[in-house]
Amino acid sequence: YLEALTGLVSNLSTTDKTFTLTRGHTSFSILYSGITGSQQPGLDALLQRAQDDHLRVKVVASGIDLAGMTIDASSVYVKVKGAIVAGSLDTTALTFSAVYSSGATTKAISVDYGTASVEGNLTEGAWVEIKLYGYDGARFLALKVELESNGTMTED
């Protein structure tokens, strides 16, 4: 089984394909150069959004060096929890926008859920948890969209 670790991104370098993942008082250096654009397109932009907005990131490891506190990532996902914006749900194009909190600020994100697994009936105003894997230049790409009770938070 592949190991995974969830935390927050800092020190992102899209040139070196590295970032620091922090969970509690523990930090790991993450190398994501092994992830191709065909696997996860627009990953740099997704990680930048995660760093800017303090979104939780899940790193699936292909290798872990506990002595050096480094992880080679085989995939990286970003979790966003928020509400589907009224008037944005397009069930033909399979897109929507969601609003979420980033500290004291409310942010919006455009999502393409065309290849995502969807749990629940998506409706405008519904509270959702979105697992993102990439960015196509216009919208963030969802791997999974899960309907939640309004305002609830669950832990990984």
Distance CA 139, CA 39 (A): 16
Residue 125 near residue 145 (C-beta atoms within 8 A)? no
**Residues 18 and 43 sit within 8 Å (Cβ to Cβ):** no
pLDDT tens-digit readout, 94-115: 999 999 998 889 999 999 999 9
Question: Exposure of 125 by Cβ count < 10 A (0-12 exposed, 13-18 middle, 19+ buried)?
Answer: exposed
E strands, 32-104, are 56-65, 70-84, 95-102
Residue 2: the pLDDT is: 66
Q: Would you say 32 and 19 are in contact if contact means Cβ atoms under 8 Å apart?
A: yes
Average confidence (pLDDT) over 73-90: 97
Mean pLDDT of all residues in 77-98: 97
Average pLDDT, the chain: 93
pTM above 0.85, yes or no: yes
Distance between CA atoms of residues 54 and 40, nearest Å: 20
CB 113 within 8 A of CB 101: no
- The residue with tokens 């992102």 is 12
Q: Give the mean model confidence (pLDDT) for residues 3-16.
A: 96
Range list of H helices, 15-150: 43-53
* pLDDT tens-digit map of 11-31: 999 999 999 999 999 999 999
44-66: per-residue pLDDT in tens? 999 999 999 999 999 999 889 98
**Percentage of residues in the chain with pLDDT exceeding 70?**
94
pLDDT of residue 156: 42
- Phi, psi angles (nearest 5°) of residue 44: -60, -45
Cα 78 to its chain centre, rounded Å, is 1
Q: Which is higher by pLDDT, 154 or 116?
A: 116
Residue 154 has pLDDT above 50, yes or no: no
